[in-house]
Structures are given as structure tokens and as C-alpha cells.
Amino acid sequence: MSRFLRTAVLVLAALLFAVPLVSSGVFGFSLPTTGWTLDPLLGAVQNSQFRDQLLASLTLALLTTLAALALLIPTLLHLHLRLPQALPVAEALSVLPMVVPAVALVNGANLTFRATVPGFLTSMYSLVPFYVVLTLPLVYRSLDAGFRAIDLRTLVQASTSLGAGPIRTLLRVVLPNLRAAMLTASLLSVTLVLGEYALATLLLHNTYPVFLAQTGQDSPHAAAALAVLTLLGTWLLLSAFSLAGRRPRTGATT
């Protein structure tokens, strides 16, 4: 009976996920008068704003991921080695972005930066710190799980006893053992940034999700087709990250 229930739950979950996706694909790649066609998609892709805004979102995703990793890896390393009693507090603080609305975050930053650094929010790159905060709960938990999965203290002590300094220990010992956690954190960060709409539109910046929303107002078929392709691209990215995380390292000396 339990096997039947598991199968039923998996089938139901697959249907709930696949039916909207297939429906969006059918709607996006067909027109009532011409049937199956790529014309709406080609029209959207040929838009001059498509490349610029897609490139902007990809750039923001890359910068956000690098900034989040550079911020959290040393922080978690220090907490796990020096202040393990502070880990519950850090974990509790990491979930605050999930309960603070984007409107409140933007309004607070707007009041602060408009008075101190007026030109900051006008730059597209001002979205990076906001996105770092937005991705903090997911990236923190992915990296924290990676730190907990390894014997960090023993690895650091062994590296130090062999004469390695802190930087070399981080680069040659800690980071290779965090490879899977870093890939998971990077994937979550990239996918979240590529789908983020509220912060970009509140700060009046043109990103790929904003382009999708604007396209949906003029050509809903093109927006649906782009959304399906974006989801498929995210799946491919997930597969690539998973393969990279499972690939064994070569070149080890014996």
C-alpha cells in the first residue's frame, strides 16, 4: 500500500508540474490562425532590448553569486572554527530577507542612499547587494550544510601543521571540499536572480524578468514561449552543475 501511495504522489506531482509547462508551451508556440509557429518568439528575440536585458541579468547573476560566496565562505569558516556557539544566531539572521518585503527593503535603501550616495541606485550594479541579501537564506544554508559535512577542524589543523597559511588552507584544502555545496549555492543564486522581478522594477532597472513582463503585455504568446525556454535553460544549467559536482577530481598524486 505504501508503494502505491508513493507512486501516486509522484505521478500527481509530475502532473501538477508538467501540465502548466506543457500548456504554456502550447500557448507560446502556437497561434489560433496559423497553428504551430515560432513567429512570436522570433519577434521577441529580435527585439533590441532582449539581448541587453538578458546580458544584464546574466551579469548580475554572476556578480551576485561571486559576492555571496566571497561574503559567506570566510564568515562561515570563521564561525565553524572560532565561534560555533554563534551559528544558531547567524542562521536565524540569515532568514530575515524571507520576511522583509522587497518594497520595505527598497524604500529603506532609497532613503539612505539618496541622502548619502545619490548616484548609487541609478546604476544597474546597485542591484547586486540587494540580490546578495535576497539570496542569503538559500546560499547560507547550502554552504553551511557543506561545512557541516566535512571535518573542518581536522582539515585546517592538518594543513596548518604542514606549514600552510590561512589563504593557502582556504584555497587548497577548504574550497575543494566545499565544491558540491558551492555549486548548489551558485545554482540557487543564479536561478533566483534570473527570475527576480520586484526589486528590479522598483528600482527602475531593465532586466530579463522585466523584459518578460513587458513582452507579456504586448505579446503574451512570445512571453509564454520565452518563459518555457528560460525554464528549460534552468534545467540544463542544473544538470550541468550536477554533473560538475559529481565529476571526480583527477590529477591527484600518490
Cβ 207 vs Cβ 128: under 8 Å: no
The CA distance from 110 to 182, in Å, is 32
pLDDT at position 246: 63
Closest listed residue to residue 168, CA positions, set 178, 181, 150, 156: 156
pLDDT at position 245: 60
pLDDT at position 144: 94
Cell of 208: 530579463
pLDDT at position 230: 84
Count the alpha carbons within 13 Å of 187 in the hemisphere toward its beta carbon: 20
pLDDT at position 65: 94
The CA distance from 206 to 210, in Å, is 6
> Could you read off the pLDDT of 91-123 as tens digits, one per residue?
999 988 888 888 888 888 877 777 777 778 888
The CA distance from 6 to 78, in Å, is 42
The CA distance from 199 to 105, in Å, is 9
3-state helix, strand, coil in the chain (%, to 5): 80, 0, 20
Buried b (16+ CB within 10 A) or exposed e, 177-199: bbebbbbbbbbbbbbbbbbbeeb
Query: What is the architecture, at CATH level 2, of domain 50-246?
Result: Orthogonal Bundle (1.10)
pLDDT at position 252: 41
Closest listed residue to residue 41, CA positions, set 232, 196, 201: 232
Q: What are the pLDDT tens digits along the chain (254 aa)? A: 577 888 888 888 888 888 888 888 888 888 887 788 888 888 888 887 888 999 999 999 999 999 999 999 999 999 999 999 999 999 999 988 888 888 888 888 877 777 777 778 888 898 999 999 999 999 999 999 999 999 999 999 998 888 888 889 888 999 999 988 998 899 889 989 988 898 888 888 899 999 988 888 888 888 888 888 888 887 887 777 667 666 555 444 33
Cβ 127 vs Cβ 109: under 8 Å: no
pTM, rounded to two decimals: 0.83
pLDDT at position 247: 58
- Residues with Cβ < 8 Å from 104, sequence gap 6 or more? none
pLDDT at position 105: 83
Cell of 37: 509557429
Vertex 94 angle, CA 171 and 233, to 5°: 70
Closest listed residue to residue 214, CA positions, set 52, 103, 29: 52
Cβ 63 vs Cβ 125: under 8 Å: yes
pLDDT > 70 in the chain, percent: 94
pLDDT at position 254: 34
Q: Is the dihedral of CA 190, 231, 55, 122 positive or negative?
A: negative
Alpha carbon distance, N-terminus to C-terminus of the chain: 51
